[in-house]
Amino acid sequence: MTVARAPVLPLSTEIPMKQPHIHLTDVQGLGQLLVDATLGVTGIVESMHHTVLGLPRPVGKGRSQPPSGVHGVVYTGLRGSSAGIYGLVRRVTRGVGRALDGTVEYLHPERDPANSSNARTVAVSILNGVLGDHMQAHRNPLTLGMTWRKDGRALQVTRSALARAFPRASGKILIMLHGHCMNELQWTRNGHNHGEVLSAANGYTPLYLRYNTGLHISENGRALADVLEQLLIEWPSAVQEVCIVGYSMGGVVARSAFHYGEKAHHAWVEKVDKLLFVGTPQHGSMVEQAGNLIDKALEVSPYSHALSRLGKIRSAGTTDLRHGNVIDEDWAGQDRFAHLRDRRQLTPLPANVHCYAIAAMIAQEPGEVWSQLVGDGLVPVKSALGKHRDAKRALHLLPEHQRVFYGMNHLDLLGSKAVCAQLQSWMAQ
């Protein structure tokens, strides 16, 4: 393992329009989330109110029965009145939400505005990463679909549309998969874009995916397998080779896509020559693992139990990162917020594909135990390299197909020219 004041312009000068940060769909989508948040907080406050009125023990379960005597009369009266108040809050909140939805829908807003600012795109991506499953279930207009993108715009996957978008389309395609709470525009960092450099150096046509990172990894993996198959059918030139670069969550989504692509006997699976992981939490992220422990701690006392609901707004995609779920069977039938051991199915790397992995450490040099655990601040080194104490779960990457970078955090991996050079070296093999 290798280790002032704006100038006055003449009237004839054309002033470019500033890209808007807020669109009508944003008003509707954020309004829905605000309604959901208000209802959720109301439920938490009501639960805490009832817990306090029940006067439970500091640790353990609260009272299953209300207190008796005078205290019981007071408790029943207060609980009844509070229920009416909280019910009123819920009814008013839902009414406001319906009115807002109706008003915005009447104006026929654009669902995927092409003139969105980078700031808006980042904000929507974060919302989807945190709440994407909830947003999809409630048909929130800010929910992201899975789309191929070029210069921030969605591509139509037809032969004619792709030929217009890529007039010099190569038979070699480079697929770039972004990480959790991100979008394809964030591949560009500090003026550097791995996809642009790698494609130019190796004769590939780069293609960037945008997807809802709040969905289960297996949902995105299955969808990716399908859109890759459609892409290869419609690609304007004969596809010779596909290379996939997955950053962070994107790497696990790629593994999931291989699983479902092989099950469906997709043709694209046979075209992939190289799969490169960059900071991918193959065996989970310590941030989500810590979040799970906090959930458990809040449930110890009935007084804090209601607050545990706040932590449980995390999306399915987020909780999948606790252990690195790849397929449906890794999470189906389980309480994803429960403190459970790793129950993943054995999902090896795809056969006949050259796989490589890059990890990072915040520490400046190896040898420090804590640095191995902390890794790049989000992903431990062993997780990024696919190593596991259980040999059956380890991904068994070749030593020469692994590289650790020191003095680098998770986001640094995106803008590092040294990382890019290593990827380039592997792609050229």
Helix, strand or coil for residue 210?
strand
Q: Distance from CA of residue 327 to its chain's centroid?
A: 16
How many angstroms separate the Cα of 90 from the Cα of each of 80, 84, 95?
A: 16, 10, 9
CA pair distance 413, 180, nearest whole angstrom: 14
CA pair distance 120, 131, nearest whole angstrom: 16
How many angstroms separate the Cα of 75 from the Cα of each of 48, 53, 81, 281, 290?
A: 14, 6, 10, 49, 37
Numbers of helices and strands, H then E, in the chain: 16, 10
* Token pair 């769909």 in the structure block, residue: 25
How many angstroms separate the Cα of 150 from the Cα of each of 175, 205, 323?
A: 12, 11, 32
Query: 325 — phi, psi (to 5°)?
Result: -60, 140
CA pair distance 354, 216, nearest whole angstrom: 26
pTM of the model: 0.75
Count the neighbouring beta carbons within 10 Å of the beta carbon of residue 96: 14
Assess contact for 420 and 192: CB atoms under 8 A. Answer: yes
Instruction: Give the bridge partners for 209, in sequence order.
Output: 148, 177
Which is nearest to 129 in space by CA: 311, 296, 318, 276?
318
- The burial of 271, by beta-carbon neighbours within 10 Å (0-12 exposed, 13-18 middle, 19 or more buried), is given as middle
Q: Which two tokens stand for residue 413?
A: 């991996």
CATH architecture of the domain covering 147-285+344-427: 3-Layer(aba) Sandwich (3.40)
* Angle made by CA atoms 5, 6, 7, in degrees to the nearest 5: 115
Q: Which two tokens stand for residue 288?
A: 């989500």
Q: Which alpha helices (DSSP H) does 55-117 contain, by range?
A: 69-106
**pLDDT for the residue 140:** 81
Helix (H) or strand (E) holding 403: strand 402-406
Assess contact for 204 and 196: CB atoms under 8 A. Answer: no
CA dihedral 396, 399, 402, 405 (to 10 degrees): 130
CA pair distance 49, 420, nearest whole angstrom: 55
Can you list the residues of the chain whose pLDDT is less than 50?
2-18, 35, 37-57, 59, 61-83, 85-86, 88-90, 92-97, 99-100, 102-109, 291-308
CA pair distance 406, 241, nearest whole angstrom: 32
**pLDDT for the residue 256:** 98
Q: Which two tokens stand for residue 248?
A: 């962070």
Q: Which two tokens stand for residue 42?
A: 């109301």
CA pair distance 83, 197, nearest whole angstrom: 61
Assess contact for 252 and 280: CB atoms under 8 A. Answer: yes
Count the neighbouring beta carbons within 10 Å of the beta carbon of residue 107: 10
Assess contact for 408 and 416: CB atoms under 8 A. Answer: yes
Assess contact for 100 and 107: CB atoms under 8 A. Answer: no
Q: Pairing state of beta strands 354-361 and 153-154?
A: unpaired
